[in-house]
Chain A
Amino acid sequence: MSIILDHVDYVYGGDTALAVHALKDVNLVFPDGQFIGLIGHTGSGKSTLVQHLNGLIKPTGGTIYYNGEDIHAEDYDKKKLRSKVGLVFQYPEHQLFEIDVFSDVCFGPKNLGLSRQETELRAYAALKQVGLEDEYFYQSPFDLSGGQKRRVAIAGVLAMKPDVLILDEPTAGLDPKGRDEILDQIAKLKEETGITVVLVSHSMEDVAKYVERIIVMNRGSVMFDDTPKEVFRHYHELEEVGLAAPQVTYIMQALRGKGMPVAADATTIGEAKREILRALGR
């Protein structure tokens, strides 16, 4: 049970002079149950990549396998794939359309052809998973705050009970509190259900805090694919492509430069704290 990308190429704008090579020979494996971070500069091909994972974009070269089956084969059921690989777009609150929150979340499971009871059970469970209070269920989604709308939209995808959940910049435009809440809920969901989560993000702090593996994209190619510690060890190269390591990594580097005997590869504040206390002998 996994997604495999085999020599995937994608070119925008086909045969015109404006053709853009968005993905170049991408080979990746997304095994079950991993929490993966996908980072990259604007225009590095992250969003294009995630749209390949549920078959929204057909690669111009190479093959994508879900559970061992070629998803662009003639007889492959794409609708089923999309229920198994849930994709939450950037600013997902812009796709809300129903008259109330609950019906909007029901849209996904209803499209899967589930019974009304099952649909509503799933919608209820999904709204609970994103931490939305019952009082909002029968309000118009357009009357909610930005953070609440985002939760509703994420619930809309969760209600399809995907095995793989992909979130394209789920925290863009949210305040720090809203951001932490949403990410914490996703982490909790991941722990409880054991689904695969792919988190596309700009924020190195977010990625370092939650994920167990980081894929770095640069100009359509995979630049690094490793654990956060290993990836952030290359912070010089990351800076060259317009990215950076988490700020604590820089602090630890600086402390080490000043002669403090700390390991410089801490990527979260918790780790850094333990490391400094250890170095201070407490």
Chain B
Amino acid sequence: MLRDITLGQYYQTESVIHKLDPRVKLVATICFIISLFVVKSWVGYVAAAAFLAVMIKLSNVPFKYMVKGMKAIVFILLITVVFNLFLTPGETLVAVWKLRITREGLELAVMMAVRLSFLIVGSSVMTLTTTPNSLTDGMEKLMKPLKLFKVPVHEVAMMMSIALRFIPILLEETDKIMKAQIARGADFESGNLVRKAKAMVPLLVPLFISAFRRANDLAMAMEARCYRGGEHRTKMKPLKYAARDRVAYGVLAAYFALCIVIRIYL
């Protein structure tokens, strides 16, 4: 039932992108997103598309998987396109009743659609090629400078990885409790909104209790192994940049520079 939900899912395969240091991928994703807003001309989008296509090709993840992530935002995409299409002032192309489609509106709508879909596909390249654990590892390392401002970087990263770890467990638990209550005659589907909300009680109460129990057990197990936060903590596999990571940073810098050049001269 609920097991079909995919959330920032990792796709296991061998590729150069998979092997990259998570920090590189995080920085690259942020740079890519910024670059989408830097460029303003069609040449710029062609450059971004080319960059993205090469990354997808290198990642060995089937394109089908990337597009799957798009399904969730189709609605948002549609709204953006419609609003931009009709509400941008400028030279009128088609006019129906009070609604006018302008040349500027059309351009803006297409641009926004391209931007949004590139944004989603771009970030899904990262989540599909990086395990949640190494992602939080990378974030922790990247955010380390924030420690100077008393930000509990390690704790935040730990919370994130625990939260990610618990998603599949809680989904499975929900599925199980749901089935158990259905076996006792519960009905989660029919009835109006109020009835449906009421029907959730037999599901949510056991689910929360189980989540608290698991959290409690985990905290106990961590303390039993002397966990006491980030101070003086070392890692079994510390993140280290390899030659390919430096190359990747080089490629990224070149791409970003290109985007800026396009913005200024074209």
Stretch from A82-90, A173-181, A212-220 that touches the partner? A82-90
Question: How many angstroms from the CA of A157 to the CA of B184 in the assembled complex?
Answer: 6
Could you tell me the dominant secondary structure of chain A's interface residues? helix
Complex Cα gap A96–B208 (Å) = 12
> Roughly how many angstroms separate A109 CA and B34 CA in the complex, as a whole number?
59
Of B49-57, B156-164, B173-181, B215-223, which stretch is located at the interface? B173-181
Find out whether the CB atom of A112 lies under 8 angstroms from the CB atom of B185: yes
Distance of B98 from chain A, by nearest CB (Å): 47
B184, A156: Cβ atoms under 8 Å?
yes
Q: A108, B185: Cβ atoms under 8 Å? A: yes
Chain B residues within an 8 Å CB radius of A107: 181, 184-186, 202
A129 near B: Cβ within 8 Å?
no
B173 nearest in chain A by CB position? A94
The digit string for B132-152, where 1 denotes a CB below 8 A from any CB of A, is: 000000000000000000000
Q: Which of B177, B180, B210 has the most CB of A within 10 A?
A: B180
Nearest-CB residue, chain B, relative to A166: B183
- The answer to whether B185 and A94 have CB atoms under 8 Å apart is no
Taking CB atoms and an 8 Å cut-off, the chain B residues in 43-78 that contact chain A are: none
Total A-B pairs in contact (CB under 8 Å)? 56
Query: Is the CB–CB distance between A89 and B180 below 8 Å?
Result: yes
A185 within 8 Å of B (CB atoms): no
Most chain A C-beta atoms within 10 Å of own C-beta, residue among B179, B180, B183: B183
Q: In the complex, A89→B183 CA distance in Å?
A: 9
Question: How far apart sit A112 and B177, CA to CA, in the bound complex (Å)?
Answer: 19
- Check B206 against A160 for contact (C-beta < 8 Å): no
Any A CB within 8 A of the CB of B14: no
What is the bound-complex CA distance between A157 and B186, given in angstroms? 12
Q: Known contacts being A51-B179, A97-B201, A107-B202, is A142 close to B184, with CB within 8 Å?
A: no
**Contacts A51-B179, A56-B179, A108-B184 given; 19 further ones with Cβ under 8 A?**
A56-B183, A79-B185, A82-B183, A87-B180, A87-B183, A89-B176, A94-B177, A94-B210, A95-B181, A95-B206, A107-B181, A107-B185, A107-B202, A108-B185, A111-B185, A142-B209, A156-B184, A157-B183, A160-B184
Name B residues whose Cβ lies closer than 8 Å to a Cβ of A: 176-177, 179-187, 201-202, 205-206, 209-210
Binding site for B on A (CB under 8 A): 51, 54, 56, 79, 82-83, 86-87, 89, 92, 94-97, 107-108, 110-112, 142, 156-157, 160
Ranked 5 nearest A-B pairs via Cβ: A111-B185, A97-B205, A108-B184, A95-B180, A87-B183
